[in-house]
């Protein structure tokens, strides 16, 4: 059997071996990994893997690896500190104007670098109706909450009917103006982006954004592109988020090709995440200096439309910060151009006068 002929979802190391995505000699080691972290690969993604390539960038994202059981001291089961900011089940309230609403703990595919890998998996459930009602009450009670980010897991694994009910409950709250949906489904199982599901996300009177998680240009198959077009054609703008991963997209050509492919699909690259300190993921993490060097290459060679913001989710739950690179010297007098040449910037403005006044006082 070739990978391209895979027709069923693969959920165990034995199924991966049968599909020839892993060697039988690795089964025992991988069963230990699968006992701890969920394994699921959809036929669409399995079909993209080249079994003859030991460094296949799609396999690195989804096929389990024995190194996942090597936990580093700095790694954490909750690397971005969701729990510290969860006032009520299903809600993470880190920033004043927005909350995460974690509807479900399941995904169509399980990524080996997932920052919530200790929380997600088949059978991990999601918000039962009473908990969802509590979460909606929490949102209703805080007029500062302007945006709701539907996440999980992958919220789009829910039925169109349930999603429509959630969206209707949220849009009935006057101060909620924006609903943002984080998903991997258009690349993992594009056939599940049905017309009914797209319509369910359209929020009357509110803006809905869909943010696609995608890390390698090969994930943007023709079917995935068509799935994304169904959102955009229905008036739902799309953004993307990608995770910088060693051996997947840590070279400028791959990253640039991904960003260009996204823009061609009418998806604006939004975030490039530095990989979080999730347990057992050190073999997939790069150094921040490498990420900054890649961002410089992107800045120098690709359209402004293709530039995501490189961010780090600060361990402990302190939120995301952009991590450069920077082009302006600390004192604001030297600026670097896209070819790496430095230029003196000598202009003064009213801000400079104000700063002088402050320092003289
Ligand atoms: S789709 Fe998202 S939540 Fe699900 S395993 Fe991948 S990174 Fe984690």
Tens digit of pLDDT for each residue in 96-115?
A: 999 999 999 999 999 999 99
114 lines ligand 1 (CB under 6 A): yes
271 lines ligand 1 (CB under 6 A): no
Task: Using alpha carbons, select from 267, 325, 335, 271 the residue that is nearest to residue 299.
Answer: 325
153 lines ligand 1 (CB under 6 A): yes
In the chain, where do the E strands start and end?
91-95, 98-102, 147-151, 178-183, 207-213, 238-244, 267-274, 309-313, 320-322, 334-336, 342-344
| Band (123; pLDDT cuts 50, 70, 90) | confident
Q: Is the pLDDT of residue 94 over 50?
A: yes
Instruction: Compute the distance from residue 7 Cα to the ligand 1 centre, in Å.
Output: 22
Q: Is the pLDDT of residue 351 over 90?
A: no
From 144-148, 253-257, 335-339, 351-355, the region with the lowest mean pLDDT = 351-355
Q: Is the pLDDT of residue 57 over 80?
A: yes
Q: What is the mean pLDDT of the chain?
A: 94
Give 203's DSSP letter: P
The whole-number average pLDDT for the span 313-331 is 96
Q: Is the pLDDT of residue 346 over 90?
A: no
Mutate to test the pocket of ligand 1, among 184, 187, 271 (most ligand atoms within 8 A of CB): 184
End-to-end CA distance of the chain: 77
d(CA 317, CA 319): 6
pLDDT value at position 125? 84
pLDDT value at position 205? 86
User: What residue has token string 């000699």?
Assistant: 25
| Band (4; pLDDT cuts 50, 70, 90) | low
Q: How far is CA 175 from the centre of its chain?
A: 26
What are the tens digits of pLDDT across the range 213-224?
Answer: 999 999 999 999
Which residue's alpha carbon is at the smallest distance from atom 5 of ligand 1? 110
Q: Judge whether 204 counts as a catalytic residue.
A: no
| Band (349; pLDDT cuts 50, 70, 90) | confident
CA quadruple 106, 112, 118, 122: dihedral positive or negative? positive
From 225-239, 303-317, 340-354, the region with the lowest mean pLDDT = 340-354
Task: Provide DSSP, 144-191.
Answer: T--EEEEESS-GGGS-HHHHHHHHHHHHTSTT--EEEEEE-HHHH-GG
Pair of tokens at residue 199: 């319509």
Task: Provide DSSP, 49-88.
Answer: --TT-TT-HHHHHHS--GGGG---TT--SSTT-TGGG-SB
3-state secondary structure of 109: coil
Q: Judge whether 320 counts as a catalytic residue.
A: yes
What are the tens digits of pLDDT across the range 173-190?
Answer: 999 999 999 999 999 999
| Band (325; pLDDT cuts 50, 70, 90) | very high
181 lines ligand 1 (CB under 6 A): no
Q: Judge whether 114 counts as a catalytic residue.
A: yes
Share of the chain above pLDDT 70, in %: 95
Q: Is the pLDDT of residue 264 over 60?
A: yes
The whole-number average pLDDT for the span 46-65 is 97
110 lines ligand 1 (CB under 6 A): yes
Q: Is the pLDDT of residue 306 over 90?
A: yes
pLDDT value at position 165? 97
Q: Is the pLDDT of residue 359 over 70?
A: no
pLDDT value at position 203? 81
Give 2's DSSP letter: -
pLDDT value at position 188? 98
Instruction: Compute the distance from residue 207 Cα to the ligand 1 centre, in Å.
Output: 24
Q: What is the pTM of this model?
A: 0.94
In whole angstroms, how far apart are CA 189 and each of 11, 175, 309?
A: 15, 33, 27
Q: Is the pLDDT of residue 2 over 70?
A: no
Which residue's alpha carbon is at the smallest distance from atom 3 of ligand 1? 153
In whole angstroms, how far apart are CA 152 and each of 71, 210, 331, 336?
A: 23, 14, 42, 40
pLDDT value at position 348? 73
Q: Judge whether 192 counts as a catalytic residue.
A: no
Q: Is the pLDDT of residue 357 over 90?
A: no
What are the tens digits of pLDDT across the range 139-180?
Answer: 999 999 999 999 999 999 999 999 999 999 999 999 999 999
């Amino acid at each position: 059997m070739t990978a391209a002929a895979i027709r069923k979802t693969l959920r165990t190391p034995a199924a991966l071996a049968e599909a020839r995505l892993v060697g039988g000699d690795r089964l025992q080691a991988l069963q230990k990994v699968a006992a701890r972290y969920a394994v699921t690969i959809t036929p669409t993604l399995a079909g993209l893997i080249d079994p003859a390539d030991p460094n296949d960038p799609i396999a690195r994202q989804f096929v389990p690896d024995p190194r996942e059981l090597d936990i580093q001291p700095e790694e954490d089961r909750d690397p971005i500190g969701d729990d510290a900011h969860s006032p009520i089940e299903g809600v993470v309230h880190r920033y004043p104007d927005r909350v995460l609403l974690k509807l479900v703990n399941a995904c169509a595919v399980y990524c080996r670098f997932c920052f919530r890998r200790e929380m997600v998996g088949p059978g991990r459930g999601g918000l039962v109706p009473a908990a969802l009602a509590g979460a909606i009450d929490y949102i209703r009670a805080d007029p500062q909450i302007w945006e709701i980010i539907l996440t999980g897991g992958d919220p789009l694994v829910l039925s169109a009917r349930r999603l429509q009910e959630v969206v209707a409950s949220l849009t009935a709250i006057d101060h909620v103006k924006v609903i943002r949906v984080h998903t991997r489904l258009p690349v993992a199982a594009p056939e599940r982006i049905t017309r009914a599901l797209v319509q369910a996300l359209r929020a009357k009177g509110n803006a809905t954004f869909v943010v696609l998680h995608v890390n390698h240009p090969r994930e943007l198959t023709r079917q995935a592109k068509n799935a994304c077009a169904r959102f955009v054609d229905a008036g739902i703008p799309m953004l993307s988020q990608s995770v910088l991963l060693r051996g997947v997209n840590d070279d400028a050509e791959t990253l640039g090709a991904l960003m260009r492919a996204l823009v061609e699909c009418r998806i604006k690259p939004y975030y490039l995440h530095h990989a979080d300190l999730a347990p057992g993921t050190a073999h997939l993490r790069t150094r921040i200096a490498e990420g900054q060097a890649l961002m410089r290459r992107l800045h120098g060679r690709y359209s402004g439309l293709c530039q995501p913001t490189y961010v780090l989710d600060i361990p402990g739950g302190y939120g995301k910060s952009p991590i450069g690179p920077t082009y302006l010297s600390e004192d604001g007098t030297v600026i670097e151009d896209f070819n790496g040449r430095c230029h003196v910037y000598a202009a003064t403005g009213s801000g400079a006068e104000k700063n002088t006044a402050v320092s003289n006082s």
